[in-house]
Amino acid sequence: MPKQAPEIQLAGIEIPDRSGQAKYRHLAEALRQRILDGRLSPGTRLPASRVFAAQLQVSRNTVLQAFTGLIAEGYLTGKPGSGTFVTDSLPEAFLHSQPAAPELDRQSPLPTDDPPQELELRPFRCGAPSLQDFPFALWTRVLSRQSRRLPFQAFGYGDPGGYPPLRRAVAEYLSTARAVRCQAEQILIVNGSQQAIDLCGRVLLGKEDVVWFEDPGYPAAKDCFQRTGARLFPVTVDRNGMQVELAQRQCPQAKLAYLTPSHQFPLGHSLSLSRRMQLLDWANRNGAWLLEDDYDSEYRFSGPPLASMQGLDRNDRVLYMGTFSKVFFPALRLGYLVLPPPLVDEFQEAKQLADRGCSLLEQAALAEFLEQGHFARHLRKMRLLYHRRQLALAAAARQRLPAEFRLQISHGGMHALLWLPPGENDRQVAERARQAGFQVEALSNYRLKSTGLPALLLGFAAFSEAQIQAGMESLATRVLLPV
Amino acid sequence: MPKQAPEIQLAGIEIPDRSGQAKYRHLAEALRQRILDGRLSPGTRLPASRVFAAQLQVSRNTVLQAFTGLIAEGYLTGKPGSGTFVTDSLPEAFLHSQPAAPELDRQSPLPTDDPPQELELRPFRCGAPSLQDFPFALWTRVLSRQSRRLPFQAFGYGDPGGYPPLRRAVAEYLSTARAVRCQAEQILIVNGSQQAIDLCGRVLLGKEDVVWFEDPGYPAAKDCFQRTGARLFPVTVDRNGMQVELAQRQCPQAKLAYLTPSHQFPLGHSLSLSRRMQLLDWANRNGAWLLEDDYDSEYRFSGPPLASMQGLDRNDRVLYMGTFSKVFFPALRLGYLVLPPPLVDEFQEAKQLADRGCSLLEQAALAEFLEQGHFARHLRKMRLLYHRRQLALAAAARQRLPAEFRLQISHGGMHALLWLPPGENDRQVAERARQAGFQVEALSNYRLKSTGLPALLLGFAAFSEAQIQAGMESLATRVLLPV
Phi and psi at residue B214, to the nearest 5°: -60, 135
CA-CA distance, B100 to B102, in Å (whole number)?
6
Closest to A230 measured CA to CA, from A261, A257, A194: A257
CB spacing of B332 vs A155 below 8 angstroms: yes
Better pLDDT: A399 or B69: A399
Q: How far is CA B39 from CA A255, A437, B99, B111, B316, in A?
A: 33, 59, 10, 34, 69
Query: How distant is the Cα of A424 from the closest Cα of chain B, in angstroms?
Result: 31
Domain final position from A109, A124, A153: A109
CB spacing of B164 vs A332 below 8 angstroms: no
Per-residue pLDDT of chain A (483 residues; tens, 9 = 90+): 445 655 555 766 777 665 555 677 778 878 877 787 777 777 888 888 888 888 788 888 888 878 876 776 667 877 656 788 887 766 544 443 333 333 333 333 333 333 334 467 899 999 999 999 999 999 999 999 999 999 988 999 889 899 999 999 999 999 988 899 999 999 999 999 999 999 999 999 998 999 999 999 999 999 999 988 899 999 999 999 999 999 999 999 999 999 999 999 999 999 999 999 999 999 999 999 999 999 988 899 987 667 899 999 999 999 999 999 999 999 999 999 999 999 999 999 999 999 999 999 999 999 999 999 999 999 999 999 999 999 999 999 999 999 999 999 999 999 999 999 999 999 999 999 999 999 999 999 999 999 999 999 999 999 999 999 999 999 999 999 977
Contacts 24+ apart (CB under 8 A), A399-408: A399/A472, A400/A472, A400/A473, A400/A475, A400/A476, A400/A477, A401/A472, A401/A476, A401/A480, A401/A481, A402/A481, A405/A480, A407/A458, A408/A268
Residue type, A34: R
Phi and psi at residue B304, to the nearest 5°: -70, 155
Q: What is the mean pLDDT of residues B396-403?
A: 97
CA-CA distance, A422 to A426, in Å (whole number)?
10
* Residues of chain B found within 8 Å of residue A28, distances taken between Cβ atoms: 179, 304, 307
Phi and psi at residue A291, to the nearest 5°: -105, 110
Neighbours of A224 (CB within 10 A): 24
Is the previous residue joined to B266 through a cis bond, with omega within 30 degrees of 0?
Answer: yes
Three-class SS of residue B456?
strand
| A368 and A392 in a common domain | no
- Which of A25, A182, A334, A355 should we substitute to test contact with B (largest number of B Cβ atoms within 10 Å)? A355
Beta bridge partners of B415: B459
pLDDT for res A334: 97
* Residues of chain B found within 8 Å of residue A113, distances taken between Cβ atoms: 164
pLDDT for res B393: 98
Q: Are A261 and A273 in contact (CB under 8 A)?
A: no
Better pLDDT: B179 or B62: B179
CA-CA distance, A343 to A340, in Å (whole number)?
6
| A433 and A296 in a common domain | no
Structural domain range at position A43: 3-109
Three-class SS of residue A244?
helix
Torsion of CA A299, A301, A307, A309, to 10 degrees: -50
**CB crowding B130-155: b at 16 or more within 10 Å, else e:** bbeebebeebbbbbbebbeebeeebb
**CB crowding A255-266: b at 16 or more within 10 Å, else e:** bbbbbbbbbbbb
Residue A268 within any structural domain of the chain: yes
Beta bridge partners of B300: B412
* Residues of chain A found within 8 Å of residue B151, distances taken between Cβ atoms: none
- Which of B35, B173, B359, B463 should we substitute to test contact with A (largest number of A Cβ atoms within 10 Å)? B359
Q: How far is CA A437 from CA A61, A420, B24, in A?
A: 60, 19, 47
CA-CA distance, A149 to A141, in Å (whole number)?
12
Of the candidates B73, B131, B305, the beta carbon closest to that of A152 is on B131
CA-CA distance, A223 to A220, in Å (whole number)?
5
Query: How distant is the Cα of A17 from the closest Cα of chain B, in angstroms?
Result: 15
Residue B18 banded pLDDT, cuts 50, 70, 90:
low
| A179 and A60 in a common domain | no
* Residues of chain A found within 8 Å of residue B73, distances taken between Cβ atoms: 273, 306-307
Q: How far is CA B422 from CA B186, B192, B261, B395, B455, in A?
A: 47, 37, 28, 22, 9
Helix axes A60-73, A20-36, angle to 10 degrees: 50
Residue type, A296: D
| B204 and B65 in a common domain | no
CB spacing of A155 vs B331 below 8 angstroms: yes
Residue B391 within any structural domain of the chain: yes
Chain A residue whose CA is closest to B166: A112
Is the previous residue joined to A124 through a cis bond, with omega within 30 degrees of 0?
Answer: yes
* Residues of chain B found within 8 Å of residue A357, distances taken between Cβ atoms: 333
| B215 and B157 in a common domain | yes
Burial class (CB in 10 A: 0-12, 13-18, 19+), A195: buried
Q: Are A292 and A261 in contact (CB under 8 A)?
A: yes
pLDDT for res A1: 43
DSSP B264: -
CB spacing of B281 vs A28 below 8 angstroms: no
Burial class (CB in 10 A: 0-12, 13-18, 19+), B468: buried
Q: How far is CA B136 from CA A3, B332, B428, in A?
A: 55, 12, 39
CA-CA distance, B327 to B381, in Å (whole number)?
11
CA-CA distance, A191 to A186, in Å (whole number)?
16
| A90 and A73 in a common domain | yes
CA-CA distance, B228 to A310, in Å (whole number)?
30
Residue B129 within any structural domain of the chain: no
CB spacing of A157 vs B91 below 8 angstroms: no
Closest to B107 measured CA to CA, from A168, A179, A189: A168
Q: Please enumerate in sequence order all residues whose Cβ is within 8 A of that of B482, keeping only pairs 6 or more positions apart, or say none.
A: none
CB spacing of A148 vs B137 below 8 angstroms: yes
For residue A169, what is the enclosing H or E element? helix A164-177
Domain final position from B355, B374, B393: B374
Query: How distant is the Cα of A218 from the closest Cα of chain B, in angstroms?
Result: 13
Residue A329 within any structural domain of the chain: yes
Three-class SS of residue A269?
coil
Query: How distant is the Cα of B347 from the closest Cα of chain A, in angstroms?
Result: 13
What is the DSSP track for B100-161?
A: PPPPP-TTSPPGGGSPPTT-S--TT-SS---GGGS-HHHHHHHHHHHHHHS-GGGGSS--TT
Whether this model's ipTM surpasses 0.90 comes out as no
Q: How many CA atoms lie within 13 A of B284 on its CB side?
A: 15
Q: What is the CATH number of the domain that holds A437?
A: 3.90.1150.10
Q: What is the mean pLDDT of residues B320-334?
A: 95
* Residues of chain A found within 8 Å of residue B344, distances taken between Cβ atoms: none
DSSP B300: B
Beta strand pairing call for B406-408 and B83-86: unpaired
Tell me the per-residue pLDDT of B339-375, one tens digit each, with 9 for 90 and over. 999 999 999 999 999 999 999 999 999 999 999 999 9
Residue A246 within any structural domain of the chain: yes
Residue B3 banded pLDDT, cuts 50, 70, 90:
low
pLDDT for res A62: 82
CB spacing of B168 vs A330 below 8 angstroms: no
CB spacing of A121 vs B179 below 8 angstroms: no
Q: Are B317 and B167 in contact (CB under 8 A)?
A: no
Tell me the per-residue pLDDT of B251-308, one tens digit each, with 9 for 90 and over. 999 999 999 999 999 999 999 999 999 999 999 999 999 999 999 888 999 876 678 9
| A390 and A249 in a common domain | no
| A272 and A169 in a common domain | yes
Residue A362 within any structural domain of the chain: yes
Neighbours of B202 (CB within 10 A): 22
Residue B127 within any structural domain of the chain: no
pLDDT for res B23: 78
Closest to B332 measured CA to CA, from A355, A347, A190: A355
Closest to A151 measured CA to CA, from B136, B382, B461: B136
Query: How distant is the Cα of B163 from the closest Cα of chain A, in angstroms?
Result: 9
* Residues of chain B found within 8 Å of residue A72, distances taken between Cβ atoms: 303-304, 306
Q: What is the CATH number of the domain that holds A33?
A: 1.10.10.10
> Among positive and negative, which fits the CA dihedral B221, A151, A172, A306?
negative
Q: How far is CA B216 from CA A33, A306, A381, in A?
A: 33, 54, 57
Helix axes B192-204, A344-355, angle to 10 degrees: 90
Domain final position from A44, A74, A109: A109
Residue B195 within any structural domain of the chain: yes
Q: How far is CA A391 from CA A384, A456, A469, B295, B446, in A?
A: 11, 17, 11, 54, 62
* Residues of chain A found within 8 Å of residue B94, distances taken between Cβ atoms: 277, 280-281
Q: What is the CATH number of the domain that holds B295?
A: 3.40.640.10
| B369 and B288 in a common domain | yes
* Residues of chain B found within 8 Å of residue A137, distances taken between Cβ atoms: 148
Domain count along chain A: 3
CA-CA distance, A295 to B401, in Å (whole number)?
60
Closest to B448 measured CA to CA, from B215, B212, B213: B215
pLDDT for res A119: 60
For residue B78, what is the enclosing H or E element? strand B76-79
DSSP A313: -
B110 has pLDDT over 50: no
| A330 and A208 in a common domain | yes
pLDDT for res A81: 65
Contacts A–B by Cβ distance under 8 A: 315
| B370 and B393 in a common domain | no
| B347 and B252 in a common domain | yes
What is the DSSP track for B302-355?
A: SSSPPPPSGGG-SSS-EEEEEESTTTS-TTS--EEEE--GGGHHHHHHHHHHHH
CA-CA distance, A363 to A150, in Å (whole number)?
12
Question: How many helices, marked H, and strands, marked E, lie in chain A?
Answer: 15, 14
